[in-house]
Structure 1
Amino acid sequence: MGHSTPALADASEDITLFRDMLLRCLDKEVLPHYDQWEKDGWMPKSAWLTLGAAGLLAPDMPEEYGAAGAPFEVSQMILEETCRVGVHSLSTALSVHSNIVAPYVNNLGTPEQKAMWLPKMITGEVIGSIGMTEPGAGSDLAGMRTTAVRQGDDYIINGSKTFITNGLHCGLLVLAAKTDPTLGAKGITLFLVDSSLPGFTKGKGIKKMGQHSNDTAELFFDNLRVPASAVLGEVNQGFVYLMQELPRERIGIGSQAIGACEGAMAMTADYVRQRKAFGQPVAQFQNTRFTLAELRAQLELTKAYWAHCVTRFKAGLMTTQEASILKLTSTELQVKLTHECLQLFGGYGYTEEYPISRFFTDARVQTIYAGTSEIMKEIIARGELGR
C-alpha cells in the first residue's frame, strides 16, 4: 500500500502526515504499554482519549463533528500501520469504532443522531460497537432472535449478542434487532443504543486465543426501552444497510491483513539474515528464499487488488462479490503467511519472546469475523453462478 498505487495517489500527502502522527503516538503512548494490556486483556479508556486527542479516531468523518475530514485512505492506513507494528488488538478495536460504527452513523443517521454521537466518538469519549452476532446466529442474520417491539413512542428490546468487539468499553451500540420476525432477514432494524440505559447489561470479557486486549464481550438486553428516535435509518431496512456497509468493513479487514503481512515479512527477513544453521545464515537456504519470494508475490497481488477495490469503493461501484474476494484472499493469505514465517523462526517462533507468535495467533480470527471464508466463497459463487 505504498504511494505508488493509483488509489492512493491523491491522498499521499495526507497519508504521510497522518502516518507520522500515528507512529509517534504509537511509539509514545501504545507500544510501551501494549504487552501489559495484552496480559491484562484490556486496553484502558485513557488510550482511546489519547488517540482521539491526536485526531486518529474516525479521521475521515466530516469536520463539522470535530474530525479531520481526511481522505478515506487515511482511515485505512491507520488500520494497516497498527497491524504492521503488531498492535492487532488495537487495530481491530479501531476498525469497529472508526471504520464501521462511525460510517453507519454518518451515512444513515439523522442530523440529530450525528450531532449527538459523532463528536464524542471522535474524541474517544464514546466508544462504538456493532451488535449483529448472536449465540445462535453468526453469518446467518436471518436466524437473529433479538427482538424490538414497538410500544407507543418506544421500542422494547430483548435478546443478546456475543463476540462483540469493544463490548466492555461500548458507549454506543449499533444494534440489529428483529422488528418483524415474519420477514426473516427483511424484518431487521438498526438502533443506536446508549449502553448506559437500564436493561443493557455487559457480560464478562471473552477470553480468546489472540487479540487479547481487544475487549470482546456478550451483551444482554432485558426489556431495554429505547425511543423511536433511536432507529437508525428506516424500520425493517437493517439488512439492506448491513449489505451497503459491508464493503467498507471488508476493505478495512484487507487493510489490516496487508499491514500484518508486511510486518511479519519484515521481521522474518531480518531474523533469517541473522540466524545461522549449518554454518551459514538461514537466508542463504533455497527453501527460505523461495518461501519468502512466493509470499511476497502473493502479497503484492493482494495489495494491487486492494487498491482496485478502494478505487471502486470511492466511485460507489464496488460490488459485494469484489468485497468478498478481497476479504477471502487477504485474510487467507495473512493466515498462511504468518504460519510460514513462524516456521522460518524454528523453535523461537513458538515463544512469546518473538512477536511472530503473536502475529500468528492474532491472524487466525481474520478468516472468521465479518463473514467467514466459507460465506465469502458462497457470495462469490452466487455472483458467478446465481443462486
Structure 2
Amino acid sequence: MNKAWVSAREPGLPWVAAEYELLRDQICRFVKEEIKPCADRWEENGFIPRPILRRMGQLGFFGIRYPADYGGADMDSVASTVFAEELGRSTYGGVADAILVHTDMASLYVFHDGTKAQRARWMPSIIRGEAITAVAITEPDAGSDVKAIRTRALRDGDFYVLDGTKLYITNGVHADLYCVAAKTDPSAGSNGITMFLVEKGTPGFSVARELDKSGWRSSDTAELVFDCCRIPAENVLGVEGQGFYSIMRNFQNERLVLAAMAIGMAEAAIDITLSYVKTRRAFGGVLWEMQAIRQRLAMLSAKVEAGRGFLYATAWRMAADDDCLREISMLKAICGELVNEVLYACAQFHGAMGVMRESPIERIARDARVLSIAGGATEVMLEVVASMS
C-alpha cells in the first residue's frame, strides 16, 4: 500500500479499531498466500474450488456477521466492509463476488428470515463453508425491477410448486442452497412475493446453463429453471407475501459490500499503475515525469480517498441501525462509476499492455465494468436518491 496515495488507514481514524485491523491483516494474508497464487487457474475454470471455500469457513471469514451461537464472530457491517474492500484489492473481482454473495447477500436471507429450525439446520454449515449459498431473484424480464418477476409458487397442500426461470445467478452452478423469490399472489404486487429455500437436487430444479461472462470469470453464473418443483411449505423464508421487503432490506448490505469491493479494486489499480508509470520509459524519460499523468492519478486517488471515507461513514451508520437508504444508494452509484473511471485511466496509462490478458489491469477493468450494473444499476440508484430528495 502506497501511504502517500491511500492514507485512510492511518491510526486514529474511527474505522481502524483494533478488531477491524486484525481482521484486515488476516484477510490480506489469506489473499496473498491462498488466493493470488491460484486465482488465475480459477479464472480459467470459472469457479472457486470447494476446498478453498471450506478453508475460508474454517478461518472464520464466512461468519463475520453472524452470532457465536452458530460459529460466527458476531461483528458488524464495518467488518463486512473491511472484508469486501480487501477481497476487491485482491484484483480478482470474480473471487470477491462469489465469496460476498455467499457471506453478505444470500446467507442473509437464512439468518434474517429463517425460522429457528431453519437457522439451526443451515447456519453452522454456511459459516463453515460446507453449504454454499446463492440468491435467485433476477429473471430474463426482471432485473432491478423485482416486482416484475414471473416465477410462480402455488400452494398444494403441504407443498409449494415453483415454476419459472432465474437468470444471472452468481454461485448458480455450484451452490448447495438457493434463496428463491417467487410470486405466491400475482395480483398483490409487492405484497405477493415470497422467499423460499430450495436445495440442490430438488426434483424439478435444474441448472439450465452456465453463463459465459467477460468479467468476474472465477464466479460461476447460471440460468436456473424450476419446472413443477415441489418444495415443503416449511421451506418458506419469513412470512408469505413479505419477500419483497426482505429483498429490499438485504439489498442495502449487498450494495454496501459491492461499493467496498469497488473501492478495493480502485485502490489496487492505482497502486499497480503508479508502479508501472514510475518504471515505464517513453520519450526519453519515465511516464511519471509527464505532468498530465501525475495530476490525473493524483485526482483519481483523491476521489477514491473521498469515496472510501463515505464508504466507512455509511458502514458505521448501518452498524448503528440508522436508516441510510439514501446514502447507500448514493454510495453504490458513486463507487460503481468511480471504479470504472479509475480503470479507464489506468488502462490508458498502461498503453498496449493495458489490454493484454497478462496484465492485471486488463482483468480489473473487465471486472470493474460489472460494478455499475450488479446489485442495482447506477441509474436505478440515482432514481432512489432523487425520489428521496
TM-score range, shorter chain: over 0.9
Query: Is residue 130–residue 175 contact of structure 1 (8 Å, CA) maintained in 2?
Result: yes
Q: Which of residues 9, 13, 22 is equivalent to 2:27?
A: 22
The 1:3/1:286 distance shift into structure 2, 3 A limit, reads: closer
Alpha-carbon distance in structure 2 between the residues aligned to 1:128 and 1:344? 39
1:8 to 7, 15, 27: 15
TM-score w.r.t. the length of structure 2 is: 0.95
Correspondence 1:201-280 to 2 at 5 A: 201-280=206-285
* Cα distance in 2 for residues equivalent to 1:105 and 1:76: 20
Q: What is the one-letter code of the residue matched to 1:257?
A: A
Whole-angstrom distance in 2 between the partners of 1:316 and 1:18: 22
The answer to whether the aligner puts 1:151 opposite 2:156 as a matched pair is yes
For residues 111-136 of structure 1, the C-alpha deviation after alignment (integer angstroms, 9 at most, x for no partner) is 11111111111111111101110011
Match of 2:3 in 1: none
1:20-57 CA distance string (max 9 Å, x none): 32233233322221111111222211221111112111
Matched, 1:127 2:127: no
Q: What is the 5 A alignment of 1:233-382?
A: 233-382=238-387
Which is worse superposed, 145-154 or 306-315? 306-315
Task: After TM superposition, list the pairs within 5 Å mapping 1:142-181 onto structure 2.
Answer: 142-181=147-186
Question: Is 2:125 the partner of 1:117?
Answer: no
Secondary structure of 1:57's counterpart equals helix
Q: Per the alignment, do residues 318 and 306 of structure 1 end up closer, same or farther by CA in structure 2, a change over 3 Å counting?
A: farther
1:50 matches 2:29: no
Q: Aligned to 2:65, what secondary structure does the other structure show?
A: coil
Q: How many angstroms does 1:318 deviate by?
A: 3.1
Distance 1:307 1:26, change over 3 A: closer
Structure 1 stretch displaced more, 373-382 or 23-32: 23-32
Q: What is the aligned length?
A: 382
Give the distance between the partners of 2:162 and 2:10, measured in 1 at CA: 47
Query: CA offset at residue 196 of structure 1?
Result: 2.2
Residues 185-240 of structure 1: per-residue CA shift (max 9 Å, x gap): 22101112212211110122100001111000011111111112111111111111
Counterpart CA distance in 2 for 1:345 and 1:174 is 42
Give the secondary-structure state (helix, strand or coil) at the position aligned to 1:133: coil
Match of 1:34 in 2: 39
In the alignment, the residues of structure 2 paired with residue 2 and residue 218 of structure 1 have an alpha-carbon distance, to the nearest angstrom, of 40
- Partners of 1:165 and 1:217 within 8 A in 2: yes
Shift of 1:5: 7.5
Q: Tell me the distance in 2 between the aligned counterparts of 1:221 and 1:4.
A: 52
1:199 to 201, 204, 211: 204
Q: CA deviation at 1:85?
A: 2.0
Tell me whether 1:60 sits opposite 2:65 in the alignment: yes
State the SS of the aligned residue for 1:274: coil
What is the distance in 1 between the residues matched to 2:165 and 2:41? 30
RMSD, aligned α-carbons: 1.5
More displaced, 128-137 or 20-29? 20-29
What are the Cα deviations for residues 59-104 of structure 1, in whole angstroms up to 9, with x where unaligned?
Answer: 2211111122234322222211111121211111111100112222
- Please name the residue that 1:78 is paired with: 83
Offset, 1:6: 5.1
Task: Report sequence identity in percent.
Answer: 37
